[in-house]
Structures are given as C-alpha cells and as structure tokens.
Amino acid sequence: MSGQSDQERTISELGEFGLIEHLTREVKLNNSSSIRGIGDDAAVLDYSGRRVLVSGDVLLEGIHFNLMYTPLKHLGYKAVVVNISDILAMNGDPSQVIVSLGISGKFGLSQLEALYEGIRLACDTYHIDFVGGDTTSSVTGLTLSVTAIGSVEPNQVVYRDGADVNEIICTTGDLGGAYMGLQLLEREKEVFKSNPGVQPDLSGYDHILERQLKPEARYDIIRFLSKLEIKPTSMIDISDGLSSDMLHICHQSELGCKIFQDKLPIHEQTEKMGQELDIDPTTAALNGGDDYELLFTIPTSQYEKIEQEKEIIPIGHMTSKDFGCYMVSSSDHQIALKAQGWKNR
Ligand SMILES: [Mg+2]
C-alpha cells in the first residue's frame, strides 16, 4: 500500500458517490416545501404562490477563512448561517440550502465529517433542509459554495430600495465584534508561529470570538418584526460593514443618511480589544464586516413599537440625496461614509 493515512484511504475507498452518501446519510427533511432532497439529479421544491428567494456565496480557504484557527465544524455552520442571513434580509423564511465542496488531499474523512456536522447543526438550528450539492477535488485548498433558498409572501418582500426621507435607520445586536475577534485570532496565530510552545490567550473574549467563528443570523428579529406587523421599508444584512451596507440602502433608495457615532452598538469586549490592539472600535463597526446583523429602515410612526426592544438600535435617519451619506462623530464632525468593497484577507 502507499503511504496514505487510514483517513485518506477511507475517503478514496468510499469514492465520490460513497463519500456523499456517507456524509449526508443523516440528513432529514423538515420543510413541507422540500419535496425531494439529496439523492436525485435535482432537488424538488414547492412554494405554492410564494416568492422564491435564492442567494449564493463562495468561500475560499486563505481568502475567507483560515483553517489554522477556524474549526471545520464552525466553518460549516458559518457558511450556512451567512447565506440564511441573506434570505432573512429580504424578509424571507429560509428553507433549503445547497452546499458544494472542493476538497484538497490534505483532508481526512473525520475532518469532512466535522464540516458536515456544522452544516447539519446550522440546518437544524434554523429548521432548514440540506437538499443537494456536489463534492469534487481541489488542488488549491478547501472551497465551499453555498446556495440558500427561501420564500416570502409576495407583499412582504423587502428590498434595499424602499427607504424614504426621515425614516429611522435601525441596526440589531452589536457591530465590529467579528472583526475584532478576527484580529485577536490573527494576533495569537502570529504568537504561535514564532513560539509554538505558547498557548493562545483568548480568555475574556468569548463574545468577539463567537462573533467571528460562530455568528448567528437574526431570524429572531424577522419573527419579532412580523409579530408586531412591522414591515421594514428597506433592509440589508451587514456583511461588509455598516458603512458599505448603509451605502447600498442609500444608493438604491436614492437618498442620503445621517447616522450617529454615539448610537452605534459596540460590545464592551470590542471596545477592550480595540484599546489593546489600537484599533478604533467605530472603524471596526463601519468597515469590519462579518457581523450578520440586520440594517433596516422603518417609518417614524412605527418607532414606538420597537422602542423597548434592546436588540434593535436606532442609529440615525434617512435624508434627501443632496445631503449625502454621513456619520456624525462624537465630537460633532460629519464624516462621509465610504464603501469598502470586497477585501482580500
Ligand atoms: Mg447580504
């Protein structure tokens, strides 16, 4: 036999179809919209009169994640969650996910099982079905391609272009934490590289680490708003940072905005890490990304209904287009919001 490990031998023994069967054998269907899942040429879905929402993402090793500090189970979980977040940002109910993988030879069966365990956990947590995908070999590291599918009543879809002047801009949860968590992981990685004997010091930073490694999508907020019969006029999920995502709403609604630095929800661990690493927490909130909170606008008449909800934070209001898109700083300066675009981490 060759010098392959037991794990590698198991994958090659299973073959592509055996591997898929092995990894998906515990996948069960929970949604009535999932007529047929994994096991045929295509999944069969039934949405009877609802609008169908589809969103996709590709995640590349070395660009979007670093396996030195990202456990594969977490990666599988996060890959599904960030796509669910996009369906929620349309005010939709996520119901299916399709996951395709490019796997390099360095992965053993137990690692792929961990990745699938994360995918399954996310599906169970958000009550969605894993209904298909593909597995192929890769020469450049791990590649994940995720497509999420959901649905919404035709009159309940929320786009980015529906905001109006004077409407209140709200965000959820806290911002900048995921970016600060990433900086902490990067710092400890460098320490480990120069001195492998030193264990990483991550104590006291559970919140920002979780924000980076195991983010959650805000299904709770969508349900809360629906219960109160509040339909946001525009909405987006914060994946690229508040600044870029706010600008998407402004540009597509053909409006300006005024948000206030003092109103931005920043967790105490984000503040503390910012001091330690000399990174401005506001910059992390504006440009860090990966927070997967929701950013939306509502008419002022609806504000009373959400006023008591701590997880929904008003941060400013929409203005006319001529005003431009600004943040008013704590020292009362107007700072123009800038788009970051995609970044090569
Ligand atoms: Mg999005």
Instruction: Say if residues 211 and 185 touch (Cβ distance below 8 Å).
Output: no
- Residues 198-247: tens digit of each pLDDT: 887 788 999 999 999 999 999 999 999 999 999 999 999 999 999 999 99
How remote is the CA of residue 293 from the centroid of ligand 1, in Å?
10
How remote is the CA of residue 55 from the centroid of ligand 1, in Å?
9
pLDDT of residue 341: 53
How remote is the CA of residue 238 from the centroid of ligand 1, in Å?
7
DSSP letter string over 54-66?
EEEEEEEBTTTB-
Radius of gyration of the chain (CA): 21
- Residues 35-73: tens digit of each pLDDT: 999 888 889 999 999 999 999 999 999 999 999 999 999
pLDDT of residue 12: 79
Name the maximum alpha-carbon separation found in the chain.
73
Q: Residue 113 is which amino acid?
A: E
pLDDT of residue 344: 41
CA dihedral (161, 162, 166, 169) in degrees, to 10, reads -70
pLDDT of residue 7: 52
- H-assigned helices in 25-156: 72-88, 109-125
How remote is the CA of residue 250 from the centroid of ligand 1, in Å?
15
How remote is the CA of residue 217 from the centroid of ligand 1, in Å?
11
How remote is the CA of residue 268 from the centroid of ligand 1, in Å?
26
pLDDT of residue 5: 52
pTM greater than 0.85: yes
Neighbours of 34 (CB within 10 A): 20
Domains of the chain (ranges, CATH numbers): 6-155 (3.30.1330.10), 168-336 (3.90.650.10)
Phi/psi of residue 151, each to 5°? -150, 165
Structure letter (DSSP) for residue 336 = E
The span from the CA of 234 to the CA of 255, in Å, is 12
The helix/strand/coil state of 26 is coil
Low-confidence residues in the chain, pLDDT < 50: 1-4, 344-345
Q: Which residues contact 106 (CB under 8 A, 6 or more apart)?
A: none
How remote is the CA of residue 15 from the centroid of ligand 1, in Å?
35
